[in-house]
Structure 1
Amino acid sequence: MKGHLSVDTPAAAPAGLVWDAFRGVELARYLNELLGDVIGRAEVVEGDGGVGTVVKVTFAPGTPGPGYWKEIFRIMDDEKRVKAADVIEGGLIELGFDQYRVRFEVIEKDAESSIIRSTIEYELEDSKKELASLVSTEAVETLAERVGKYLAEKNSTPKNL
């Protein structure tokens, strides 16, 4: 069984600025600074932020399910502003998923705003299809909202009255 969930989050910041935050390992820094107490902590295990980089995310205490996951960056497309990482250890893989991919795409809306499309793609055996109910975009949506808000505030300049 294959499935996916997707959510679009508006960001009041230019697509290039948002992509710089989401590409590579910058997103781990933002997760730690803005959401460490809500989602957890991320650390780079191996790599420089390109394809093949491995990041370990340790979830905040009280988060249901396995306490961590390791992901490997599989896609990093600067032209299309797409990043995808596959969970290779822990997380829902530990509970029986065959594949679990987190994908971010930054879409330019206009010169000063963009959309962060967060997608969870998964695969599991038909005999385990009840596990699909565990898939949620809540964490990636929260991450996109907080990073988008932070970048919008950072990018705004005071107007002279």
Structure 2
Amino acid sequence: MLGSVSEEMEVQVSAKEVWELYGTHRLIKFVEEELTDVIHKLEIVQGDGGAGTILKITFPPGKSTFSSYKEKLIKIDNEKRVKEAEVIEGGYLDLGFTLYKVRFEVMEKSENCCISKFTIEYEIKEEAAANASMVSIKPLVNIMGIAANYLIKNKK
């Protein structure tokens, strides 16, 4: 079974500034510092923050169905401002998902305005189809909102 969910948000900051946060490893520090109630720890297991980097995401006790999982950055396109990560170990894969991928895009709207968009794509085994209800874009929307506020306050 295939599925996807997405959400976008208009941000009153240039696409370049938004991408400077989302397209780099600065996002790891930002999420760790600003979203402690959602994510306990983000650590680079392998790589330098570019494509091929493997991250371990650990959740605070009692805040998630699973304690942690690993994801791999599979695509970072600075020209198109697209970043993709795929869960490679634990988490959703332990719940019958065969694919769980997150894509972030920044689309320029005007000189000082852009659209941030998160998309989750997933594939799940038929016998685990009930677990598809666990897919939620809400944590990513939370990140978008907090990042947008941060970027607006710290506009260049």
Q: What TM-score comes out, normalization by structure 1 length? A: 0.92
Q: 1:101 to 1:134 in 2, by over 3 A?
A: same
| Structure 2 gap segments, 5+ residues each | none
- Contact 1:23–1:49 (Cα < 8 Å) also in 2: no
CA contact (8 A) 1:86 1:101 kept: yes
Query: Sequence identity, in percent?
Result: 40
1:37 partner SS: coil
Which residue in 2 is equivalent to 1:159? none
1:64 is displaced (CA, Å) by: 2.7
What secondary structure is seen at the aligned counterpart in 2 of 1:132?
helix
Summarize deviations over 1:100-154 as a string: whole Å, max 9, x none. Answer: 0011001112111111100111011122211110100011110111111101110
8 Å CA contact 1:39, 1:139 repeated in 2: no
Aligned to 2:135: 135
Comparing 119-128 with 38-47, greater Cα deviation is found at 38-47
Q: SS of the counterpart of 1:65?
A: coil
- Where 1:45 maps in the other structure, the secondary structure is strand
- Count of residue pairs brought into register by the alignment: 156
Cross-structure match for 2:110:
110
Task: Name the Cα RMSD after superposition.
Answer: 1.2
How far apart, in 2, do the equivalents of 1:76 and 1:64 lie?
27
Answer yes or no: is 1:63 the counterpart of 2:63.
Answer: yes
TM-score in terms of structure 2 length: 0.95
Task: List runs of 5+ in structure 1 lacking aligned partners.
Answer: 157-161
In the alignment, which residue of structure 2 is the partner of 1:14?
Answer: 14
- Hey, which bits of structure 1, 4+ residues long, moved more than 3 A? none
The structural deviation recorded for 1:83 is 0.2
